[in-house]
Each structure stands twice: as structure tokens, then as C-alpha cells.
Structure 1
Amino acid sequence: MSLMNALDILGFPCFHGSHLAKPSIGDLFMKAFTNENPKDWIKLLDGYASIADFPAFSSYKELMKIFPDAKVILNIRDPNK
């Protein structure tokens, strides 16, 4: 969640997998994740300027088609730490 916090602080409100615990967001996510309608992703991410963690890593191909000018941050961690 540190990347999410950093993006929020920098002025890029961040959608994060932890938000899926809210039923209203979870329902929107399931619709976006299971349909091929870009409008569902746009509705889900309305009000956010960034996305991190899940669902970004599992849906990056779809998201890059919908938001072709998006910038990507590749976050690599040492798995032993």
C-alpha cells in the first residue's frame, strides 16, 4: 500500500485492491472484470488518477487499451525481504 499512499500524497488519487472490500465498489469491479465493455472500467475508476496492486496487475492489457497514454510504474521488490 506504500505505492498507493505515495500516489495519493503526490495528488494522483489511487484505486487499490483494498477498495474492493466496499460492496458498491466490489460490484462495479466484478462488472468491469467480467465484461469487455471499457465503459465499466471508466465508471469504476471515475475519480481516481492512478491504480495500483490488484486489479491493475491482472488487467493491465485491458487498462492500457482503455488508457493508452497512461504511465506505468514497475515496482520490483526483493522477495527475500
Structure 2
Amino acid sequence: MTAQFNLGLLYQDGKGVEQDFASAVKWYQKAAEQDHITAQFNLGLLYQDGKGIRQNKTNAKEWYGRACDGGLQLGCDSYRELNEQGY
């Protein structure tokens, strides 16, 4: 799970590999489904910004919520912001 998250980071940042948001989504998704909290948050960010995947703020809010439930304050803050925007 941590290795999957790390691969997501490398692809998102383009460190050691060509930047590829779609690959970042793929690896974050794998880690997030195994309850990696930061992967859940980062996946939310990619959904919110439409990077590597079609923009979908409802899905972003769902992933932020899971990160929040796992104890990540940034997830809670981002969830609240999208909730206030009506998502």
C-alpha cells in the first residue's frame, strides 16, 4: 500500500518518471482502497482539479470524507469546503 502511494507521488510530481496524472490516479486509487489516508486525500485533489481523471467534485468529496474519517484534518477541511459549495 505504501509503495503504491509512493508510485502515485512520483507520477504526480514527475520525479524519476515523466509526470503522468493518470498513472498517479491509478496508484493512488489502489492505495486509497486499502485505506491509505494520504492517498485518499490526494485522490480527492486529483478528482477536484480534474488531473488525470475527469473532474468530479462529488467523488473528490467522497475521498476527502474517507481521509477525514481516517483522521486527516486536511481531508475534513476539503470535505467541508466542497460541502459548503453544494457538492
Same fold (TM over 0.5): no
Q: Between Structure 1 and Structure 2, whose CA radius of gyration is higher?
A: 1
Between 1 and 2, higher relative CO (CA 8 Å, sep ≥ 6) is seen in 1
Which structure has greater strand proportion?
1
- Structure-1-length-normalised TM-score: 0.37
More helix by share: 2
